[in-house]
């Protein structure tokens, strides 16, 4: 999803009031992992201690790999009145680009190099100590109208854009997200979450940072990547946990054949989830797979059980208003309406069907098609494991041709093109069509347009 948003506009009458940093009893678990459980009281003590360490700068780029330490650092920055910057990725180029717009920022992390020292050492970098300091005090409060994060879009449809998030908007959207998880979280005891998505991504922020703070759940402190590591993290939960993941990770889990412990459920986002994969995962892991629909600009808006539902159900407080070139979103956590590029068909009962995007609709030689439908047909060719289509800039004749990058071990370009020729009109056959070993997907499975163009030009 992509959107255009302004941070200026209506605010509720209580927006200037402060809210507690976290909810729940002091002894309730906020995090868990290989080293045991962390109580809310211990977390708050470390937040106070880290807050005292932070430099006097208004913006922080949180590069912590450990999810618990990211949580502590994010909370400490909020308590100090600082804004956490969330680059679209943790590449050095993305970090430098965000910091160029915020020259008074600093970086903090839990390692010496943070995996981005390939150019030059990061300027104004604070490494958190191995043993986090502690401090005494009351429950920290954060003004509801304080901007606590600026999230950047992935750049999958163009240049990344900044989106400002207030503490009040986060608190409201988290309440909506708890409603989105209704039926998946246990009725008694503390819900436990294991997430494969980075906390720096807005979906990861919502599901693995804000849920522990204002949703009252406990989160695993790591970000497992490989199927065996995901399984081990799930085993560490004292109750059947909720797995927060992406279609890319879910497919890897299914294809690996790894055995998972009993789960409360699986939620996925960041990319479309096919009904086939959702059904296969439900059968393999014995739980519901629930897909969430949202964006960096809007946060999560809707949910569906993709194995059996095509239509989406809006979360409480969210309304959609179709426009000629997209959809206007009204929501309790948005200061003003946000325009999405997605075209929807409204259905009874607060439901809707996605009909693609205006930019997704193609017209070549007087014929029309959908970029997403063409991609689906390309992926349906036996032997194609991953693929992406992109429409190029106009050529000398003004025609915007399609290009494709395909992962298909054992097939050549002619075989892929022949398979696609049987499914689509010849005018929509991609030229060029390139075979590669892997697509340059980011940590959440998305494909920035610029990376695809670079890959096409490099072949």
Tell me how far apart the alpha carbons of residues 382 and 411 are, in angstroms, rounded to a whole number.
9
Q: What SS3 class is residue 257?
A: coil
Q: C-alpha distances in angstroms, 177 versus 182, 446, 449?
A: 9, 22, 29
Which residues are paired to 337 by β-bridges? none
pTM for this entry? 0.81
- Hey, where are the domains in the chain? 3-356, 365-458
Q: What is the mean pLDDT of residues 219-227?
A: 94
Please give the torsion angle defined by the CA atoms of residues 179, 180, 182 and 185, in that order, rounded to the nearest 10 degrees.
-110
pLDDT over 60 (residue 14): no
**Per-residue pLDDT reduced to its tens digit, 273-289:** 989 999 999 999 999 99
Q: Where are the beta strands (DSSP E) in 115-191?
A: 125-127, 141-143, 147-152, 162-166
Higher pLDDT, 218 or 272: 218
C-alpha 171 chain-centroid distance: 18
Token pair of 150 as six digits: 């600026």
pLDDT at 395: 67
Q: How confident is the model at residue 91 (pLDDT cuts 50, 70, 90)?
A: confident
| The pLDDT of residue 365 is above 70 | no
| Whole-number Å distance between alpha carbons of 92 and 87 | 10
- Cα separation, 341 vs 347, in Å, equals 19
Rg of the chain over CA atoms, in angstroms?
Answer: 22
Which stretches of 149-271 are DSSP H helices? 167-180, 202-205, 227-235, 247-256
Are residues 119 and 92 in contact, defined by beta-carbon separation less than 8 angstroms?
yes
Residue scoring higher pLDDT (203 or 272): 203
Question: What's the pLDDT at 120?
Answer: 56
CATH number of 3-356: 3.40.50.12780
The structure tokens listed for 166 are: 């207030």
* Local structure of 375: helix, strand or coil: helix
Q: Classify domain 365-458 by CATH architecture.
A: 2-Layer Sandwich (3.30)
For the chain, the average pLDDT equals 87
pLDDT digits 0-9 by tens, 156-188: 555 678 899 999 999 999 999 999 999 998 876
Q: What are 39's strand-pairing partners?
A: 29
With a cut of 50, say whether residue 458 has pLDDT above it: yes
Count CB atoms within 10 A of the CB of residue 434: 15
- Pair of tokens at residue 302: 């809707």
Q: Answer yes or no: is pLDDT of 196 > 80.
A: yes
Ramachandran angles phi, psi of 303, nearest 5°: -145, 160
Question: CA of 313: how far to CAs of 177, 316, 457, in Å?
Answer: 12, 9, 41
- For residues 222 and 233, the answer to whether their CB atoms sit within 8 Å is yes
Task: For Cα atoms 97, 95, 221, give the angle at the middle one, nearest 5 degrees.
Answer: 155
From CA 334, how far away is CA 166, in angstroms rounded? 10
Q: For the residues 20-24, what does the mean pLDDT come to?
A: 95
Closest CA to 276 of 404, 379, 354, 352: 379
The residues, ordered by sequence, that sit 6+ positions from 37 with a Cβ below 8 Å of its Cβ are: 29, 31, 218, 238
For 60, the 3-state DSSP assignment is strand
Q: Which of 303, 301, 315 is nearest to 265 (CA)?
A: 303
Backbone angles phi, psi at 384, to 5 degrees: -85, 120
Share of the chain above pLDDT 70, in %: 89
Cα 332 to chain centroid distance, Å, stands at 20
Tell me what pLDDT residue 358 has: 65
Q: Which neighbouring-strand residues pair with 364?
A: 367
Instruction: Evaluate the omega torsion of the peptide bond into residue 89 and state whether it is cis, within 30 degrees of 0.
Output: no
- 3-class SS at 18? strand
pLDDT of residue 366: 61
Distance from C-alpha of 284 to C-alpha of 117, rounded to nearest angstrom? 41
253-267 pLDDT, tens digit per residue, is 999 999 999 999 999
């Amino acid at each position: 999803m992509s959107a255009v948003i302004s941070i200026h506009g209506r605010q509720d009458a209580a927006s200037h009031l402060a809210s507690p940093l976290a909810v729940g009893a002091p002894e309730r678990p906020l995090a868990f992992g290989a080293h045991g459980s962390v109580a809310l009281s211990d977390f708050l003590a470390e937040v106070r201690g880290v807050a005292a360490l932070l430099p006097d700068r208004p913006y922080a780029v949180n590069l912590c790999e450990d999810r618990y330490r990211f949580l502590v650092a994010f909370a400490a920055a909020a308590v100090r009145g600082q804004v956490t910057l969330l680059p679209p990725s943790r590449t050095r180029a993305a970090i430098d680009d965000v910091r160029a717009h915020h020259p008074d920022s600093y970086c903090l992390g839990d390692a010496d190099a943070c995996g981005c020292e390939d150019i030059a050492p990061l300027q104004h970098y604070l490494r958190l100590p191995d043993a986090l300091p502690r401090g005494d005090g009351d429950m920290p409060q954060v003004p509801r109208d304080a901007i606590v994060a600026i999230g950047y879009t992935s750049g999958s449809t163009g240049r990344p854009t900044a989106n400002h998030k207030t503490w009040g908007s986060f608190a409201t959207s988290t309440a909506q997200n708890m409603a989105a998880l209704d039926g998946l979280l246990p009725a008694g005891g503390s819900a436990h979450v294991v997430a494969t998505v980075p906390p720096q991504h807005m979906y990861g922020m919502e599901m693995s940072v804000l849920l522990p703070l204002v949703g009252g759940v406990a989160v695993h402190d790591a970000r497992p990547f490989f199927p065996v590591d995901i399984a081990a993290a799930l085993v560490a939960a004292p109750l059947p946990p909720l797995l927060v993941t992406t279609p890319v990770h879910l497919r890897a889990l299914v294809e690996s054949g790894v055995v998972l412990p009993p789960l409360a459920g699986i939620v996925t986002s960041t990319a479309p989830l096919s009904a086939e994969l959702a059904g296969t995962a439900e059968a393999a892991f014995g739980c519901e797979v629930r897909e969430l629909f949202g964006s960096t600009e809007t946060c999560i808006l809707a949910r569906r059980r993709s194995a059996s539902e095509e239509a989406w159900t809006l979360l409480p407080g969210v309304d959609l208003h179709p426009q000629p070139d997209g959809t206007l979103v009204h929501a309790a956590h948005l200061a003003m309406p946000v325009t999405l590029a997605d075209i929807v068909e409204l259905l009874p009962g607060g439901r809707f069907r996605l009909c693609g995007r205006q930019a997704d609709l193609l017209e070549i030689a007087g014929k029309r098609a959908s970029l997403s439908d063409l991609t689906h047909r390309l992926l349906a060719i036996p032997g194609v494991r991953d693929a992406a289509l992109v429409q190029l800039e106009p050529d000398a004749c003004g025609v915007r041709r399609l290009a494709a990058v395909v992962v298909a071990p054992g097939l050549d370009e002619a075989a892929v093109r022949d398979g696609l020729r049987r499914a689509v009109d010849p005018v929509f056959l991609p030229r060029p069509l390139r075979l590669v070993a892997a697509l340059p997907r980011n940590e959440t499975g998305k494909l920035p347009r610029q990376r695809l163009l670079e890959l096409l030009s490099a072949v």
